[in-house]
Amino acid sequence: MKVALWRLGSGLIALPAQVISLFLVFHGAGEAVGDLYRRLLPPAGAPRGRAREGAPLFGLLLLGIPVAMAMSGAALTMIFTLVRMVYYPFWALSAPAADLRHSWGGPTPAGATLVHWLVGVFVLVAGDLVVRGGGHLLRRLVFPPLPEDQPARVTPPGSAQRSSVPAGRRGTPRPR
């Protein structure tokens, strides 16, 4: 529960943090961006290593603005959906039959509430995926991948160059 609330909060603050980070880099305090994002996005694993600096960081932060907007919009939608899911059963119990007849899942209050809850769960899951994916993408924009995170290059068998000189005994160097 705590992680979900932290993720929701980081989704809400994603756009303001992105704008603040742009101002920090523009005014020469780009080293503070790494600390801000380490604190903002820790639940999925605190990013290791140093943050990017200078013009590359500024450019990637500009590219991250649409991601931050999507995260903030998804977080606001999730909050609105949660409030509606809590409020809807009370409204359905006191609603006139004509209103429930045109409602999803109507004409009974229980059916309308169940259908609205199912749609609400779908919206919450989709919003959570947007916030998680956006957080991962923002971490990748601010922190470059470490060398051990990159896959090792594997050469297919038979593609390496071989010497034309036959191998001698083990432990003896090949002639060049």
Range of the domain at 36: 2-146
The answer to whether 166 and 46 are in contact (CB under 8 A) is no
Q: For 148-152, what is the mean pLDDT?
A: 52
93, part of any domain: yes
129, part of any domain: yes
- The per-residue pLDDT for 98 is 75
The answer to whether 11 and 74 are in contact (CB under 8 A) is yes
The answer to whether 27 and 41 are in contact (CB under 8 A) is no
165, part of any domain: no
Q: Domain count of the chain?
A: 1
The yes-or-no verdict on residue 87 having pLDDT over 50 is yes
68, part of any domain: yes
- The per-residue pLDDT for 165 is 58
How many CB atoms sit inside 10 A of residue 136's CB? 14
pLDDT category at 83 given cuts 50, 70, 90 is very high
98, part of any domain: yes
153, part of any domain: no
- The per-residue pLDDT for 172 is 65
What is the pTM assigned to this prediction? 0.68
